[in-house]
Amino acid sequence: MKKLFFIFILFSFSVFVFAQEQRVYKVVIRSDWKPYYFINEEGKPDGYAVELFEHIAKEAKIRFEFVIAANFQEIIQLLNEGKVDIVPNISIVSHREALLLFTQPTDNFMVNIYKHETSKNINTLNDIENRKIGLVSNNICAKLIDQNYTYVQKTYYVDYKSLIEGLLNKEVDVFCYPKPLIEFVNGKHPSSIVPLNKSLQEIKRGVGIIKSNFDLLPHLDEAITNLKLTGKLDALQEKWFKEKKYIELSLSETIFLVVSFFGILLTSAIMAIYFIHKKKWLLTNAMLEKEVEKQTLRYKEQNKKLEQLQEKLKQQLNKDTLTNVYNRTFYNQKIQEMLSLYQRHNMVFSFLIFDIDDFKYINDNYGHSVGDHVLVELCTLVQKQIRLTDYLFRVGGEEFIVLFSNTSQKEIRDAVEKLRLTIEKELNVLENRIITVSMGLTQVQAQDTQESIFNRADELLYEAKKKGKNQVIVS
């Protein structure tokens, strides 16, 4: 019976491995988004992202087939319907985390605002306020403009070609689009189209996979690491973008990757030698039992690693990628949980909403990278001030929520005022400028819903802004 049991385990494992090797993943690409994706003269998929994923798939030993989509809207639809598994090159941004898991970055690009060279009054990012701006629907630019500019007149186009024509025909004053694509077609449109003197934002890009394929993520990451170490990634970027590097590795990252790479090679070599010279072990019942025990332990260790990976992925899904505090997705879960505890067990909690005063001024005058640094340092400071049982969430660009568990408004109001003063005194990120926050504090009430408690706190925040900012308003 023991022999049959062991044979059954080996057979099941072999079937599982064989099934994984035989699976064909569906990889979705756009039909015309040069130089990343396009259909060449031979009718085959081509471009930087296509060639990159072919290298990744070869390294990871996975089989795939391309699915062609006319535009990005169709890609999102196919992902939502579960008809495709992988997007080979996509921007790593927080609003897509609900749909995809991302590998480590493979490259990045700058998002620019472009104008006609004759537009002498448009030179900086501040100059685009109250101007007509051209955008492509569902492109990352539309999201960035919505976040950072209120007073612009937006005109939407179907693709970047019509975007360029719109500027040349003076339908818009400027347009927003990723730098590599505009530079790629630079020879096909007049050189009178020029970028503003500063980019809007840097966007990292990687491979996106649907969440049900989470077990594929470490294999793709390892493949990308190998492409970086062997120089193949640099060669691809040189070929398609005429630049040597899009992703730079620090010295410590390089040492870690090199050691890891040679460690894997050494382990593989030792295992190969072991199995080549290993004596036949199916000789006695005692040896068979030992082998079954060893394989069982191996499966337990693999399950443990899988559980750890699942927990890590869960944390990634619940955390804001910039600040590493909880995101809106986790906020939606936690507020429902705390409302349920209040209704069933009368566990009171307090709700604080706050945002950074004049944050748009900081972004416009110091740059978005400095603005990001302000957000990170603010979160670090706030986390030091609140308790381990409290929860800090980033729910918008510069908007945050703190849920004070099992605490009434009366108990927490002095601590919130102290938090505001601490931010004013210790958040010394900008030279010659004090950073302040406005806050709205309330307590859960009978019949409260997620919307009602948020709206009540948000009105208090608005009142704090109207009364001069840098203060706490309590209901």
Domains of the chain listed by start with CATH number? 23-102+206-244 (3.40.190.10), 108-203 (3.40.190.10), 252-312 (no CATH), 328-474 (3.30.70.270)
∠ at Cα 88 (205, 82), nearest 5°?
Answer: 115
> Residue 203 has what pLDDT?
84
User: pLDDT digits over 66-112, tens only?
Assistant: 999 988 788 888 988 889 999 999 888 877 887 899 999 998 888 89
pLDDT > 70 fraction of the chain, expressed in percent and rounded: 84
> Residue 185 has what pLDDT?
61
Q: Partners of 115 in the beta sheet?
A: 174, 194
The pairing of strands 193-195 and 107-116 is antiparallel
> Residue 336 has what pLDDT?
92
Length of the chain: 475
Supply the pTM of this predicted model.
0.45
Query: Which run of H or of E encompasses 197?
Result: none
> Residue 309 has what pLDDT?
67
User: pLDDT digits over 282-328, tens only?
Assistant: 445 666 677 677 777 776 777 777 677 666 666 667 888 899 999 99
The CA distance from 52 to 36, in Å, is: 9
Helix (H, G, I), strand (E, B) or coil at 104: coil
Query: Which run of H or of E encompasses 391?
Result: strand 391-394
User: Please, which pLDDT band fits residue 419 given cuts at 50, 70 and 90?
Assistant: very high
DSSP conformation letters of 301-347: HHHHHHHHHHHHHHHHHHB-TTT-SB-HHHHHHHHHHHHHHHHHH--
User: pLDDT digits over 340-371, tens only?
Assistant: 989 988 999 999 999 999 999 999 999 999 99
> Residue 217 has what pLDDT?
84
Whether residue 63 is predicted with pLDDT greater than 90 in this model: the reply is yes
Under a CB-based contact definition with an 8 Å cutoff, are residues 381 and 400 in contact? no
> Residue 315 has what pLDDT?
64
